[in-house]
Amino acid sequence: MAIEVRIPTILRTYTDGAKQVEGAGSTLGELLIDLDRQHGGLRERLVDDGGLRRFVNVYLNDEDVRFLAGLDTPVKDGDTVTVLPAVAGGGI
């Protein structure tokens, strides 16, 4: 068993086009480090020094991890993590 991670179109250049990849870890932060070992550069698109980037949404199962514990959110085998680009903008 592993943690399934769904990758949006815009980031599939890091996963050789794969829609779904697998990783391991006990927190979201660890999972992203593990993913980066397999798919170099992916983590940097998702996190910066301050934590999760503003331009992406990351969900554990169906919950936005910003409402959980962000990168410290515990994850376990069988969970699904979904990454979606945030849709935002504005007139100014």
Q: By CB under 8 A, name the binding residues for another protein.
A: 8-10, 55, 57, 59, 62-64, 66, 82, 84-92
Cα gap 8→84, rounded to integer Å? 6
- Judged by beta carbon, residue 19 or residue 37, the one nearer another protein is 19
Closest distance of CB 22 from another protein, Å: 18
- Judged by beta carbon, residue 15 or residue 82, the one nearer another protein is 82
The two tokens of residue 61 are 């199962």
- Judged by beta carbon, residue 44 or residue 63, the one nearer another protein is 63
On the 0-12 / 13-18 / 19+ scale of CB atoms within 10 A, 23 is buried
Closest distance of CB 86 from another protein, Å: 7
Cα gap 36→49, rounded to integer Å? 16
